[in-house]
């Protein structure tokens, strides 16, 4: 059957039978580089288009509909326009850091892709501390953001970066605790183990109420971590023009923008892996026929379907809730989410030890 | 692919970013204008240095974050084995979280979590 696993295996065996090992390895690396860059570019184009269309339909308007089929080429046109714009560096900016910041943000976004299982046995690096790796690497992006805000020689940029930094580090805690409650259930930090443990049902169903609480906390925390509305006060347009990337223009701005959308994809895929079973198909108890039909859908379709459902959820938030103030935002995290998630972790541990889950 | 995937990914990120910026540099014919270098704020020239004081609250939150983040790292190995060890691990984590929570309450009482 057609599957990503089959394709990679075929390419791998063909390379190793045709070339000597060193050249085969180099060609493999080149293919990975091209695939990852392609994934980034396609994700950027699709997510920006999706965001604009979803926003448009939620506000009862049409959104982009001129370029290409139903406006699907609009993002492509926008990217071309951005490439043709001059990349300015403001006077008095720290030139080295100013140029370095987009690279840092991009490298971090790229590195998190390493342990993510996109489909059955389709993973770059099945690292045994996958969850810890993802948490550790994703918290590095705040360095890039602070770098950008600090070096821009602009008051709004600096304020936006400080807000963004405070917000990201705060919400990382409750996201981490929510992730830990699933680790308690599976007893493994390896992402492939976590997906395999959900063969007979996803954790959000198997884990009872604590899993649902964890899921809700996780979604709130990652919405804040990716600076999305209603937590987008790092780039609140009406207060700080554009936050930490106010002074960026042309291609450097495009890189920040792309990294932002790729980060949304990444956190949603982590959410899908931990709570919604990653690439595991949807099974119901002993409904044999139903389960067989579900098995026929390729695992990559399941994975991307779940991820895009979560992304849609996060876009839905944007048009449902008004923006928070910074004190409200920090209150929400420190006075509500953090104690609740700590208590929830204890509840989950009790449940895991007593075996009160399916 | 193992650890080498990290190097490959870093290379891919640098190639993608640098490639985009280089292409833009080749294609764009910029013009010189003193207005272009000014900070994008509100139109009139900016006053003073942008690197001035900011709210001390950020610092306090960063400190509390540091404590809790280290705690979180301690919890990872615990979470992996808690199901095998059972109630002993559960009791210990209650003590651990209780002590931390006392510190959290102290910070709260001192007003470190209040934004003003």
Residue (of A257, A245, A249) closest to A160 by Cα position: A245
CA–CA separation, A105 and A263 (whole Å): 10
pTM for the whole structure: 0.91
Q: What is the mean pLDDT of residues A79-105?
A: 84
The residues pairing with A119 across neighbouring beta strands, listed in sequence order, are: A122
| Topology of the domain covering B4-109 | Methane Monooxygenase Hydroxylase; Chain G, domain 1 (1.20.58)
- Can you give the pLDDT at residue A2? 64
Task: Sketch the domain layout of chain B as residue ranges.
Answer: 4-109
**With a cut of 0.95, is the ipTM above it?**
no
Confidence label for B95 from pLDDT (cuts 50, 70 and 90) = very high
Give contacts of B94 with chain A, Cβ < 8 Å: 346
Task: Sketch the domain layout of chain A as residue ranges.
Answer: 1-84, 87-354
* DSSP state, residue A233: G
Rounded to a whole number of angstroms, the CA Rg of chain B reads: 25
Q: What is the mean pLDDT of residues B78-95?
A: 88
Cβ within 8 Å, pair A114-B90: no
Give contacts of B63 with chain A, Cβ < 8 Å: none
Whether A108 contacts A152, CB under 8 Å: no
Helix A250-275 with A130-138: angle, nearest 10 deg: 150
Give contacts of B14 with chain A, Cβ < 8 Å: 103, 106-107
* DSSP state, residue A148: H
Residue (of A183, A276, A29, A327) closest to B4 by Cα position: A29
- Can you give the pLDDT at residue A311? 93
Q: Best mutation site among B13, B14, B82, B101 for testing chain A: the one with the most A CBs within 10 Å?
A: B13
Give the tokens for residue A110.
Answer: 């790229």
CA–CA separation, B73 and A284 (whole Å): 36
- With a pLDDT cut of 70, the percent of chain A lying above it is 97
Q: Best mutation site among B34, B38, B40, B96 for testing chain A: the one with the most A CBs within 10 Å?
A: B40
Whether A235 contacts A227, CB under 8 Å: yes
CA–CA separation, B64 and A222 (whole Å): 20
A264-322 tens-digit pLDDT = 999 999 999 999 888 888 887 778 888 888 888 888 888 999 999 999 999 998 888 88
CA–CA separation, A266 and A43 (whole Å): 11
CA–CA separation, B81 and B37 (whole Å): 57
The torsion angles phi and psi of A119, rounded to 5 degrees, stand at -160, 180
Q: What is the mean pLDDT of residues A122-135?
A: 87
Residue (of B21, B46, B24, B48) closest to B35 by Cα position: B46
CA–CA separation, A204 and A14 (whole Å): 40
Give the tokens for residue A280.
Answer: 């595991």
- Can you give the pLDDT at residue A215? 92
CA–CA separation, A126 and A192 (whole Å): 7
- Can you give the pLDDT at residue A236? 64
Q: Is the pLDDT of residue A1 over 60?
A: no
Cβ within 8 Å, pair B54-A103: no
Q: Is the pLDDT of residue A217 over 90?
A: yes
- Can you give the pLDDT at residue A253? 87
Q: Is the pLDDT of residue A239 over 70?
A: no
Q: Is the pLDDT of residue B116 over 70?
A: no
Q: Is the pLDDT of residue B25 over 80?
A: yes
- Can you give the pLDDT at residue A308? 92
Q: Which of A1-5, A223-227, A322-326 has the lowest mean pLDDT?
A: A1-5
Whole-number mean pLDDT of chain A? 85
Give contacts of A155 with chain B, Cβ < 8 Å: 39, 41, 46, 50, 52
Q: What is the mean pLDDT of residues A143-159?
A: 84
- Alpha carbon A96 to its chain centroid, in Å, reads 28
Confidence label for B38 from pLDDT (cuts 50, 70 and 90) = confident
- With a pLDDT cut of 90, the percent of chain B lying above it is 3
Select from A84, A247, A327 the Cβ nearest to the Cβ of B27. A84
Select from B40, B65, B81 the Cβ nearest to the Cβ of A247. B40
A197-213 tens-digit pLDDT = 888 888 888 878 888 99
Cβ within 8 Å, pair B61-A170: yes
Cβ within 8 Å, pair A255-B38: no
CB count, 10 Å around CB of A71?
Answer: 18
Q: Is the pLDDT of residue A243 over 70?
A: yes
Q: Is the dihedral of CA A300, A42, A68, A313 positive or negative?
A: positive
Higher pLDDT, B81 or A228: B81
């Amino acid at each position: 059957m057609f599957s990503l696993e089959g394709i990679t295996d075929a390419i791998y065996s063909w390379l190793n039978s045709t070339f000597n090992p060193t050249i085969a390895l180099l060609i493999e690396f080149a293919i990975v580089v091209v695939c990852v860059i392609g994934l980034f570019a396609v994700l950027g184009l699709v997510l920006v288009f999706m965001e604009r269309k979803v926003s448009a339909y939620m506000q009862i308007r049409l959104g982009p509909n001129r370029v290409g089929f139903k406006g699907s080429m609009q993002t492509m046109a926008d990217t071309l326009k951005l490439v043709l714009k001059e990349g300015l560096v403001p006077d008095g900016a720290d030139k080295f850091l100013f140029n370095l910041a987009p690279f840092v943000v991009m490298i971090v976004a790229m590195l998190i892709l390493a342990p993510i299982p996109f489909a059955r046995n389709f993973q770059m690096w099945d690292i045994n501390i996958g969850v810890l790796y993802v948490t550790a690497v994703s918290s590095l992006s705040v360095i890039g953001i602070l770098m950008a805000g600090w070096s821009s020689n602009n008051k709004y940029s600096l304020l936006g970066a400080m807000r963004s930094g405070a917000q990201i580090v705060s919400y990382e805690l409750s996201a981490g605790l929510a992730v830990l409650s699933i680790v308690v259930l599976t007893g493994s930090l390896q992402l492939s183990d976590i997906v395999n443990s959900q063969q007979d049902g996803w954790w959000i169903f198997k884990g009872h109420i604590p899993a649902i609480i964890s899921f809700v906390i996780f979604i709130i925390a990652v919405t804040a971590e990716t600076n999305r509305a209603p937590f987008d006060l790092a780039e609140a347009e009406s207060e700080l023009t554009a936050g930490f990337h106010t002074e960026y223009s042309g291609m450097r701005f495009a890189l920040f923008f792309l990294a932002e959308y790729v980060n949304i994809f990444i956190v949603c895929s982590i959410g899908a892996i931990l709570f919604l079973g990653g690439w595991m198909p949807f099974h119901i108890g002993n409904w044999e026929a139903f389960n067989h039909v579900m098995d026929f859908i390729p695992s990559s379709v399941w994975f991307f379907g779940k991820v895009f459902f979560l992304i849609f959820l996060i876009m839905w938030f944007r048009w449902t809730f008004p923006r928070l103030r910074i004190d409200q935002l920090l209150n929400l995290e420190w006075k509500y989410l953090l104690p609740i998630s700590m208590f929830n972790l204890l509840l989950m541990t009790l449940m895991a030890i007593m075996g009160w889950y399916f | 692919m193992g650890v080498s995937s990290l190097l490959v990914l870093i290379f891919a990120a640098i190639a993608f970013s640098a490639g985009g910026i280089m292409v833009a540099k080749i294609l764009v014919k910029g013009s010189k204008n003193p207005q272009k270098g000014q900070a994008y704020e509100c139109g009139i020239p900016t006053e003073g240095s942008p690197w001035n004081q900011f709210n001390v609250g950020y610092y306090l939150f960063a400190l509390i974050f540091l404590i809790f983040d280290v705690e979180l790292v301690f919890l990872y190995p615990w979470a992996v084995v808690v199901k095998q060890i059972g109630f002993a691990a559960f009791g210990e984590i209650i003590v651990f979280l209780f002590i931390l929570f006392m510190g959290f309450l102290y910070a709260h009482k001192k007003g470190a979590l209040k934004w003003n």
